[in-house]
Amino acid sequence: MDLEIIRSRNPKIVAFPASALGVVAPANPAAARAVFGANPDVMLAVDGPMFEYCEGQPHDYAVYTCGTVRYLLQDNLSGVSVPGLPGYEDKGITISVVGGTAIGSLRRSPVPGASVAIQLSIGLVEDGAIGVRDHPPDDPSGQNDHRLAVGIMPDGKIAFAYARAPVYEFAVMLRDAGMRWAGYTDGGGSSSLVMRKPDGSLEGTDADDPDGRRVPSWIVARVTPDVWQESPERPQIEPQDSVRYIDKTSFLDDEENVRYGSLGLAAAGLLLAYALLRKR
């Protein structure tokens, strides 16, 4: 499986084959580190769509023990089947995977025969068109905050995306990156996009704390069974050994990209000054 890091900053986009898309729904709400630890085949994860706290539970990510996901989640391989709550049928978009092909559709509408189907709370890009309106700066959706999305790239790969932007600008970013379908999973300081690096360690967005926010569902990219079965020594094989990391940029924080970019400009300036002196 290829994990293709397409962009490293605003938006950060990591793409992978549609056949690797999956859902993890732990028995109890779990943070990123626990999900990666319990699922060694998971290579990339974003926290799933919004949920309701069960009756009597404290509204606190750190201590609650029961939450119900508002939106449909289905993963035949892992046995996840979350129908979603009544009243949310007409919300957002659904991304389905049928025979390894990703298909987008409006509202709660899994494609018949789908092995994976994920309903996302807001349709950011709907069949190539922006699905949200612009919001004023005093509206939470109009503020420059952390945003997460799942989308379909032009080549059919699934992409996880993170940016710090108003919701409308985030949608424009994803459309301009080529996504024909993209849906919102989460926003705010708890937004998590986490990748397992080649050495097995975890690397996440600057909004992420791997031991922080606990949620009842995670949308993931996992090493598919056909990759695992290539070796008879499956228990001894580390999953990242079956993954090729195509790092077109680098999975760095925005500040690091700015710093390296500034160094590059400074170096270019020095070379130009040197060339001008030589001409004299």
> Averaged in consecutive runs of 10 residues, what is the pLDDT profile of the chain (280 residues)?
80 93 93 90 91 92 90 95 95 96 97 97 96 79 86 96 93 96 85 84 67 86 57 39 62 37 34 45
Residues 225 and 113 in one domain: yes
Residues 102 and 162 in one domain: yes
Write the CA distances from 3 to 69, 181, 183, 194, 259, integer angstroms.
27, 19, 20, 12, 25
SS3 67: strand
Interior/surface letters 151-179, b for 16+ CB within 10 angstroms, e for the rest: bbbeeebbbbbbbbbbbbbbbbbbbebbb
8 Å CB contact between 202 and 43: no
Question: What does the radius of gyration of the chain's CA atoms come to, in whole angstroms?
Answer: 20
Q: Which domain holds residue 268?
A: 253-280
8 Å CB contact between 219 and 150: yes
Give the contacts of 140 (CB within 8 A, at least 6 positions apart). none
101-106 β-sheet, strand order: 80-82, 73-75, 116-120, 93-98, 101-106
Per-residue pLDDT at 186:
81
DSSP string computed for 147-206: EEEEEE-TTS-EEEEEEEE-HHHHHHHHHHTT-SEEEEEEESTT--EEEE-TTS-EEE-T
Residues 205 and 121 in one domain: yes
SS3 104: strand
8 Å CB contact between 11 and 208: no
Residues 96 and 226 in one domain: yes
Q: Can you tell me which residue has the tokens 């993170």? A: 162
Long-range contacts of residues 267-270, Cβ cutoff 8 Å, at least 24 apart: none
Q: Comparing C-alpha atoms, which of 16, 45, 49, 17 is closest to residue 31?
A: 45
Residues 12 and 97 in one domain: yes
Computed from CA positions of residues 246, 102, 120, 82, in that sequence, does the dihedral angle turn out positive or negative?
negative
Question: Which helix (H) or strand (E) element contains residue 30?
Answer: none
Residues 191 and 270 in one domain: no
Residues 203 and 264 in one domain: no
Per-residue pLDDT at 7:
80
Per-residue pLDDT at 63:
86
Residues 66 and 78 in one domain: yes
With a threshold of 0.85, does the pTM exceed it?
Answer: no
CA distance 2 to 222: 11
Per-residue pLDDT at 6:
83
Q: Can you tell me which residue has the tokens 């023990």? A: 65
Per-residue pLDDT at 148:
94
Residues 259 and 236 in one domain: no
8 Å CB contact between 69 and 51: yes
Residues 87 and 161 in one domain: yes
How many structural domains compose the chain? 2
Give the number of other CB atoms < 10 A from CB of residue 141. Answer: 18
Residues 133 and 27 in one domain: yes
Residues 233 and 276 in one domain: no
